[in-house]
A and B are shown apart, each in its own frame.
Chain A
Amino acid sequence: MIRFLLLFSRQGKLRLQKWFTPFTDREKKKVIRDMMAMVLARTPRSCNFLQWRDLKIVYKRYASLYFCTGLDDQDNELLVLEVLHRYVELLDKYFGNVCELDIIFNFEKAYFILDEFLMGGEVLETSKASVAVALEEADTLQETMEEYLNKPAY
């Protein structure tokens, strides 16, 4: 299973963190520090796989964001590269040409998308279209509720 998924920028700012196993706050901070230190130190054309403690680390850089995950020993690293790519594609489809600012200003939506794609550290839905449909319907439900209750959007 995937243990954690972190998104951070080149300057070391965390944009998204998803923990699939219980970590204490101190451990979380340590993991974030270590991941940033290790991944940001890599040269552009290096291998995307690292070893850290007993976990395999797979990271991929998309524009200004680094996507970094920690895996169990059994997991297939090449497949997780595909998982990261699929997530970026989903973000792209949802936001329309996604960039880092989209994820900063709409971080809760990035989480909702992630929750439709991964659950408990495993892939939940393998079809892009199904995820997109589910997200759309959930958003509609949210808006309908809001309109119905006649609360202004802001």
Chain B
Amino acid sequence: MSPSVPLQEMIRAIRSARTQCEERGVIQRECAAIRAQFRQVDNGGRSHNLAKLLYVHMLGYPAHFGQMECVRMIASPRYNEKRVGYLGAMMLLDEKQDASLLITNSIKNDLSHSNQYVQSLALCTLACMGSAEMCRDLAPEIDKLLRASNSYIKKKAALCAVHIVRKVHDLGELFAPAARSLLSEKNHGVLHGAVVLITQLCEQNPETLERFRKTVPDLVQIMKSLVISGYSPEHDVAGISDPFLQVRILRLLRILGRNNEAASDAMNDLLAQVATNTDSTKTVGNAVLYETVLTVLDIKSESGLRILAVNILGRFLLNNDRNIRYIAMTSLQKIVGTDHNAVQRHRGTIVDCLKDQDASVKRRALDLSLALVSASNIRSMMKELLIFLSSCPPELKAQAANGIFNAAERYAPSQRWHIDTILHVLTTAGGDVRDETVPNLIQLITNTSELHCYTVHKLYRALLTDISQQSLVQVACWCIGEYGDLLLRGECQETEPVQVSEDDVLDALETVLQSHMSSPATRGFALTATMKLSTRITDNVDRIRSTVSIYGSCIDVELQQRAVEYNALFKKYDHMRAAVLERMPVIEKNSPGHTNGESTGETVKEVKPAKVKQGEPVLPPQPANQVCDLLDLLGSSEEPLQPGPALGSTEPILPVSTAGSAGGDLLDLLGGLEPAPLTPAPSVTVYNKGGVTMTLRCEKQSDTGLLVTLTASNSTDSDISSFTLQAAVPKSVELHMKAPSGDSLPARGAANVTQMVVLNNPNKVNLKMRIRVSYTSQGSAVQDMVQVDSFPGH
């Protein structure tokens, strides 16, 4: 066939374009020319133009303007134009396009054309892109062609019928009789088409399946002749006679023999013959063997045949060819449920495949290995799986880790082994495990009380080596917190004891707290663990106190809250500390709903009875019902702070109150409930500098309590922003600052800022207050300090 020169010239021009931009230019010019040509009346180069357009389409450029041209070309009487037109229809039109309906008539005419090649074009196009309506329209034509035409057309009509049946299931009935009669054809192409058609009909409709069971003897006969008969050069592929047809017949036999004793019996001999006689040195032979094995395993075959099939799969597993090993494992995966023992025999080879270089093979081997784990082989399998985990590709890590956990949970021979395995997984793949691993592991550890010493030693050592695996670090911190005394005792039966000093342990926990690798949840664990150690160790309690108080001003709200609460535990509730922080009881196995890694943290908090709400001047309306219960226990709502260092005690409050948005709103909401500072108590000016005036007013609340109101105003001409007050009082006086009403003072006294301070003076010392004022005015920051020595009305 002579090449289309215009097409080739264009292709050459496009390929010689050096940049994407140049290429686009060439293509735009060509498309313009093609469009112009399309508009012209018939000329000789139509097929060339359409071919050019199809090339451009394949490069990814839009070519929808060629659709109508395709329709016109298909209707042309010339074969070369029809050929390209149909090709264009298959490439540019699909069943979703409206233009596809326009070619239905052309196809119909061409189906009854005198020339078989024209007929074949129509059949091919219909089988490729025929929509449901087109199929319905043309089905009778196809049926006619199935019966009365030459083999060239029959085979094409058969596959076209397959497409029709896929699109419109009801038409299956129409083609069933024709399909049956086609089985007696000699031509392999027609036979192949017939087998495919029957397979499709049987898959769709169980009644048709029943009817076609009668064909099993015929199929067996055809198959036998293929396998036994002499060399046929036309269909031979590496010694196998027509493997394509053989595989399709085997597939049809599988469908027909499924769940049917009689049919399965009829094919037993044949399957045995194929399984033993097929040459398995080349891929072709293996393809036939593979299909045979699948058929044997799916029908009701006798046990001898089944064993033969599994042995073939075992042989496949030992094959050098990776493809064969891959499909062997895929097939074994399918039968591992039913023929478990047979597959177990090949466990060694499967486990070896875990070490294969290829990712696909590795994946299959992992799936199969996890399915083969049982109580008897758990130790050896786990060894292999753990080796695999340390070197497996990252996309398989999560699956492997979870599989190992499940297997360990089901078949663990001893508690210690279980804990060891989980620790090993956490050290190698800690980042890929599910969240519920941490609470599950903690629950497991609390349950094995005799291994607490061993566990904590191991975890401590693991913590020293590596603190990047969050799950591991969390569990380690929890255990060190709980069982730190066992760690420090230094003796342990199960493992080599290590002399650990209290400083070492606290160092380790501090490293976790300060490391940038630790997630917020992990730091929470570490802080709680540090706190728990305060009751377990003897010497370094002060160190713990300072660590905990430092975190009282941490930016992370969760850590801050914990630290402040623990601080309170040290200061006000020291007598309860030992009881609060004693050993945890055995945790009940949580319901599957608890998947949050934080649930353990919450459990710990729930047990502590003295959950004191510190750091909030008023109660934020959280749904923390447990908090309310606990606070009722204590019988008071707001706890005044101890006067620590002046700035330190007020800092936790100020960030909250000057945060602005939500916190400010909450506090403002409740601000209205506070006693209004509108009592006619005498006010004194305590500060007057730079235009900023501050007055102080006192109010007696109780015998020892005093409410001080500070009011600030701005008499300058410019606004003042970020106005904050900090106060300090003598040591025995308790100070509690409420939220200020705002932090900006508009110019010329337009509005004031009010700050209320609650003082409690149980020892009735001489009351003094030092107030630090800081604000920004005209772009510069100002700070000043004033001391109030006498309080009016006190």
Contacts and interface: CB of A to CB of B under 8 A. Distances in A.
B287 A79 contact: yes
B192 A123 contact: yes
A137 B4 contact: no
By DSSP majority rule, is chain A's interface helix, strand, loop, or mixed?
Answer: mixed
A55 B124 CA distance: 24
A20 B128 CA distance: 6
A137 B79 CA distance: 12
A35 to B, nearest CB: 14
Given A76-B287, A76-B290, A119 B159 contact: yes
Contacts of B87: 108, 111-112
Contacts of A142: 1, 79-80, 83
B472 interface: no
Contacts of B291: 76, 79
A125 B154 CA distance: 11
Contact of B79 (A105, A109, A141): A141
Interface stretch (B235-243, B690-698, B782-790): B235-243
Contacts, number: 168
By CB atoms of chain B within 10 A, which of A47, A134, A141 has the most? A47
A43 B283 CA distance: 20
Interface in B65-93: 78-80, 83-84, 87, 90
Interface in B322-357: 322-327, 357
Contacts of A49: 323, 326-327, 360
B323 A77 contact: yes
B686 interface: no
A67 B433 CA distance: 38
A34 interface: no
A126 B191 CA distance: 10
B261 interface: no
A154 B4 contact: yes
A123 B55 CA distance: 26
User: Which bracket fits the contact residues of A?
Assistant: 35 or more
A11 interface: no
Q: Chain B binding site: helix, strand, loop or mixed by DSSP? A: helix
B155 interface: yes
Contacts of A153: 2, 5
Given A22-B129, A142-B1, A143-B1, A124 B159 contact: yes
Interface in B20-54: 44, 51, 54
A126 B117 contact: no
Nearest to A46: B358
B160 interface: yes
Interface stretch (B244-252, B267-275, B306-314, B602-610): B244-252
Nearest to B254: A74
A82 interface: yes
A97 interface: no
A50 interface: yes
A76 B456 CA distance: 54
Nearest to B237: A82
B621 interface: no
B244 A120 contact: no
A72 B243 CA distance: 19
Contact of A120 (B6, B128, B245, B324): B128
Contact of A154 (B6, B160, B188, B326): B6
Contacts of B613: none
Interface of A: 14-17, 19-20, 22-24, 29, 43, 45-51, 74, 76-79, 81-83, 86, 104-109, 111-112, 115, 119-120, 122-130, 134, 137-139, 141-143, 145-146, 149, 151-154
Ordered nearest first, which 6 A-B pairs have the shortest CB separation? Answer: A78-B287, A154-B5, A139-B1, A120-B127, A151-B44, A47-B322
22 contacts: A14-B60, A16-B58, A22-B94, A46-B322, A49-B326, A76-B251, A78-B327, A79-B243, A81-B283, A106-B3, A112-B83, A119-B127, A119-B128, A120-B159, A120-B160, A122-B162, A123-B244, A126-B244, A141-B117, A146-B80, A152-B44, A153-B2
Given A79-B247, A108-B7, A124-B156, 20 more contacts: A14-B58, A20-B128, A47-B326, A48-B322, A78-B323, A81-B287, A104-B11, A106-B3, A108-B54, A119-B127, A120-B128, A124-B192, A125-B155, A125-B192, A126-B189, A126-B245, A137-B117, A142-B80, A154-B2, A154-B5
